Structure 1
Amino acid sequence: MRQVQHLLHNGNRLLNDHTAPFRFGQELDLQGHGLFGFALLRQQDYRKLVNMVVQYLRVSLPLMDMEIHCTGELISIRLHDNWDLKKLKPMVANIYMGSIHALASLVCRTFTFEFDFACPGNSLAWQRLADGVEVKFNRPHNQVLMPLSGRQARDDDASVATYLAAARSREQIQGDDSLKVVIKVRHEIMNAPGRDSTLERVAQKLGMSTRSVRRHLGLAGFAFSGIRNDIRETFASRYLLETDMPLEKIADQLGYSDQASFSKAYRSWTGRTPGEVRRTSRP
């Protein structure tokens, strides 16, 4: 478990994308497991189906425990942190939520995900996670609410089999491809966050046209300038807090023509100037 926590901590630090754990959970593709798919084919009781999803996840992802409650047509799945994950708790909770969404989408159409922490990052990005998904923060528990009244009707084994086969629709596949482009763009900018981090240069390194890169980023809910600004802010904050590098040098490292331009950009990101950040970090 310590090794898992170490890996998750490093992944969370390097990704710099608060919605990535949810998307990672979706990408686990647990519904492709043959035995689980067979069980779904044979099960017509929707409450038992959801319970099966929970039990399957408890075995497949033994990082958190879960409890399920059924009230009328509403089912809730609540997460419990049995390992005292501390700062990793939001990340692990999001991985679970993404996996629950990928599996439970075989049962219902709409989801409300509630988290017991404040909204990290851009709130708009959270609302674009998937169709039929609502995300709420600062709630008492980490849980997902699923109304079965909006489920997709499936009358026989053949219809369930068809639904399982089509679980990864064309739109989802396109979305997956776009997310891969986001990851590649982020990687290229992190390797060179300075003057070379232009859309044209990154697209060239990826062997794509600028139009294609921009389209994929848009489909995934991102903009090139937003990704670059997020990465530059991260680099700038580390330089300011962890080094004595002069502000002029930091500005040059991040692709700004002078210190004034860098300071203006940094203040727009954080609400503070680089000088203020550096002064408050000193004992």
Structure 2
Amino acid sequence: MSQNHADCQEDAWLLMDKTPPKLSDIRKTARSYRLRNLSSERLVEFVESILVNELPKIPTVRAISEYLFTTPRTLGCRLSLAGTTYRQIVNDVRLRQAKKGLANSAMSISQVSVANGYRDASNFSKAFKLKTGQSPSQYRAILRSE
């Protein structure tokens, strides 16, 4: 029995000689591998999910690329292959989330604009109308009449 115990101690010293990689390095490698193997559609979905979780803050393309352990240029190229840009994804996410907010009658238009990272309701209204052809209040009125 003591013989086995001595072997265990010896094995423990052997294991301690091999310094394990840092957890952060493992995560970095895993994310980098994951990015390389994501399809274009999945990459767009992944970026969208990050943005939704960060609203009302809008992370920069640099922040997103650092999170993915890549460069802004590589991220831009990968998004281009998917037929989009980071700015388009940001605008799409903001519009989709704004529509959800407008469907929630408890939120004012001003609250919806702030929740989606707009500086003020005026900027939000202009952007919303440009994308949908309706003002936020018109969109909400149509939802309520249905």
Q: Choose the corresponding residue for 1:247, options 94, 109, 115.
A: 109
| Residue identity (%) | 27
Change (3 A) 1:175 1:268: farther
TM-score by length of 2: 0.65
Unpaired segments ≥5 residues, structure 2: 1-35
Give yes or no for the alignment of 1:194 onto 2:56.
yes
Partner of 2:140: 278
Give per-residue Cα distances to partners, 1:212-264, cap 9 Å, x unaligned: 11111011211111112222111111111123211111111111111100001
Q: 2: distance between equivalents of 1:268 and 1:278?
A: 16
TM-score, structure 1 as length reference: 0.36
Deviation at 1:272, TM superposition (A): 0.4
Q: Which amino acid aligns with 2:77?
A: R
Structure that is richer in helix per residue = 2
Structure 1 equivalent of residue 66 of structure 2: 204
Instruction: Kindly name which structure, 1 or 2, has the bigger radius of gyration based on alpha carbons.
Output: 2
- Tell me which of the two structures has the higher relative contact order, counting C-alpha pairs closer than 8 angstroms and 6 or more residues apart: 2
2 CA distance for matches of 1:249 and 1:242? 11
Number of residue pairs aligned between Structure 1 and Structure 2: 110
Change (3 A) 1:252 1:188: same
- Mark the CA change 1:279 to 1:179 in structure 2 (over 3 Å): closer, same or farther: closer
Deviations 1:12-59, CA, capped at 9 Å, x for gaps: xxxxxxxxxxxxxxxxxxxxxxxxxxxxxxxxxxxxxxxxxxxxxxxx
| Mapping for residues 169-248 of structure 1, pairs under 5 Å | 177-248=39-110
1:208/1:243 Cα in 2 relative to 1: closer, same or farther (>3 Å)?
farther
Call closer, same or farther: CA 1:175–1:217 in 2, change over 3 Å. farther
Q: What do you get for the CA RMSD once the two structures are aligned?
A: 2.1
Higher strand content, 1 or 2? 1
- Read off the aligned partner of 2:70 and give its amino acid letter: M
- Cα deviation for residue 175 of structure 1 reads 8.8
Aligned to 1:269: 131
Residue 10 of structure 1 corresponds to which residue in structure 2?
A: none
Contact 1:239 1:245 in 2 (8 A): yes
Aligned residues of 1:175 and 1:220 also touching (Cα < 8 A): no
Q: Which runs of 5+ in 1 are unaligned?
A: 1-173
Say which SS state the counterpart of residue 217 (structure 1) adopts. Answer: helix
Alpha-carbon shift at residue 209 of structure 1 (Å): 1.6
Once superposed, which parts of structure 1, at least 4 consecutive aligned residues long, lie more than 6 Å away?
Answer: none
Shift in CA distance, 207/238, structure 1 to aligned 2, threshold 3 Å: same
Offset of residue 176 of structure 1: 5.3
